[in-house]
Amino acid sequence: MSTRTARADHPRTPRRRPAWAGRNYSLLTASAVVTNLGAHGALIAAAFAVLEAGGSGGDVGLVAAARTLPLVLFLLVGGALADRLPRHRVMVAANALNFLSQGAFAALVLLGEPQLWQMMALTALCGVGQAFFNPAAEGMLLATVSGENSNRAFALFRMAVNGAGIGGAALGGAMIAAMGPGWVLAVDSAAFAVAGLLRAFLDVGGTPEREPGGGLLSDLREGWVEFRTRPWLWSIVLQFSVVVAVVGAAESVYGPLVARDQLGGPAPWGVALACFGVGTIAGAVLMVAWKPRRMLLVGTLCVFPLALPSAGLAVPLPVWALCLVMFVSGAAIEVFGVNWMTTMHQEIPEDKFSRVSAYDWFGSVSLLPLATAVAGPAESVFGRTEALWGCAALVILVTALTLLVPDVRHLTRRPPKTLSPAPPPAPGLAPSLASGPTPDLTGAPPVTTPAASPAAVRPGA
């Protein structure tokens, strides 16, 4: 019998995805990958668009602040709406807004000399979209994950998204050097369109209808009660309000300036950011199998390495050493991210998750607009090197203080049967997984640079 005949008589059994990786998991993963491919390059492109238009380091900080200020202002409203409206519709609407705003930003850069106020206005619209997207994305993510598979599902999702970030950052840096930042912004706009289309096909038929609440303010109060009564939650969010602010300022403002002056331009900086992405994949691979009992203790210890990129830029390290530093910090924060998401899934009721997530995001990014806005003046007063060393020291200080909270040290993983119940999935609806986001890691577009953004650094990303 020939080999061909044998294969015909004994056809291979088609490969199947894991039981928890159904249609929704595939759609959410694919859309998050597409978004991160565009967004990671666009973040570098936005900084260099400002610099090529004649802007200073302070102007780069103002554009970054213009993105994050509306994010802070609208997050709580976005969280309340995401617990009231179908979450996938909120996500699609936010993607549409980001598609339009990034498309206009690209056209502005490609067709003329963009003014600072125009770039600030368009990035502000991106921030508004992200404010509504992030709580809805995280609520959608955790509502359909089973307790038994949550650790593995979170890790695999983040592995896929961070892999896209590697390609996006490296390709973005190379495209900026070869074609200019405008085309990278255009690619990001197209990515939002594709991601929104994919998310429109999410199957939410099996999601139970939520009980009508007492109004927007009542919903926000309920979310606040859930937030403030959990010391582990608000202490880590306070920690990240400082961590995200100083790391974001260091890498969104000082990073491009160090790259321009001492590293050779955007391409080496893109490679360094891609190494951060490689590190996050390594951390995700580790977390597929590793389930530490004291999730928050392990995760918080892994925040200390986030001081390394700021210190590396302060020296500054040669490109190869900076890439190594970025790899280590990426692996460490990914270990934190998976443990944080698993803790949230274990402890927060599903019907209040988007509101709690909104308070999480709000606290984590609340200081970021101020930090990015004052980064330029701080450089003038203290010097760039001194400012970067200060960023590294603050990360170490606030992380050490967080370890003093007993719940952070002692909260433990419970058996799956005692986890907060998830709603029963519809036929074909996977317990599935974004800031992306970050962050992504929920597929949310990052706010500053891939290494410094809430989608990669903040809790829940």
Cβ-proximal residues to 327 (8 Å cutoff; 6+ apart), any chain:
275, 276, 278, 279, 282
Give me the pLDDT at residue 398, please: 97
Q: How far apart are CA 320 and CA 275, in angstroms?
A: 10
For the chain, the 3-state helix, strand and coil shares in percent, each to the nearest 5, are 75, 0, 25
- Would you tell me the crossing angle of helices 231-249 and 368-382 to the nearest 10 degrees? 40
Residue 297 CA to residue 238 CA, distance in Å, equals: 16
Residues 32-42 as b or e (16 or more Cβ within 10 Å = b): bbbbbbbbbbb
CA distances from 217 to 77, 89, 91, 123, 259 (A): 9, 22, 22, 28, 46
CA dihedral angle for residue 416, residue 24, residue 349, residue 228, rounded to 10 degrees: 110
Residue 282's nearest CA partner among 162, 165, 170 is: 162
- How high is the pLDDT of residue 16? 58
| pLDDT value of residue 417 | 53
pLDDT score at 138? 73
What confidence score (pLDDT) does residue 327 get?
A: 94
Cβ 205 vs Cβ 77: under 8 Å: no
Q: Which of 288, 220, 203 minimizes the C-alpha distance to 78?
A: 220
Amino acid of residue 122: L
Q: Interhelix angle for 23-52 vs 181-199, to 10°?
A: 160
- How far apart are the C-alpha atoms of 172 and 218, rounded to whole Å? 44
pLDDT of residue 428: 33
- In angstroms, rounded to a whole number, what is the distance separating the alpha carbons of residues 237 and 365? 9
Q: What is the pLDDT along the chain (461 residues), one digit of tens a residue?
A: 444 444 444 444 445 556 555 677 778 888 888 888 888 788 778 888 888 888 777 788 788 778 878 887 888 888 888 777 788 888 899 999 999 999 999 999 998 778 889 899 998 998 898 888 877 877 676 666 665 666 777 777 878 877 787 777 778 878 888 888 889 999 999 999 999 998 888 876 655 555 655 677 787 888 888 899 999 999 999 999 999 999 988 887 888 888 888 888 877 887 887 788 788 889 988 988 888 999 999 999 999 999 999 999 999 899 999 999 999 999 999 899 889 988 988 888 877 877 887 788 788 878 887 887 788 888 888 989 999 999 999 999 999 999 999 999 999 988 765 444 444 333 332 323 233 333 333 334 343 333 334 445 554 44
DSSP result, 207-263: SPPPPP-S-HHHHHHHHHHHHHT-HHHHHHHHHHHHHHHHHHHIIIIIHHHHIIIII
Task: Report the pLDDT value the prediction gives residue 25, as an integer from 0 to 100.
Answer: 74
Which alpha helices (DSSP H) does 150-180 contain, by range? Answer: 150-179
pLDDT tens for residues 261-277?
Answer: 888 887 788 788 778 87
Helices (H) and strands (E) in the chain, counts: 19, 0
Give 420: exposed, middle or buried? Use CB within 10 Å, 0-12, 13-18, 19+. Answer: middle
Rounded to whole angstroms, how far apart are CA atoms 132 and 82?
A: 8
CB atoms inside a 10 Å sphere around CB 404: 9
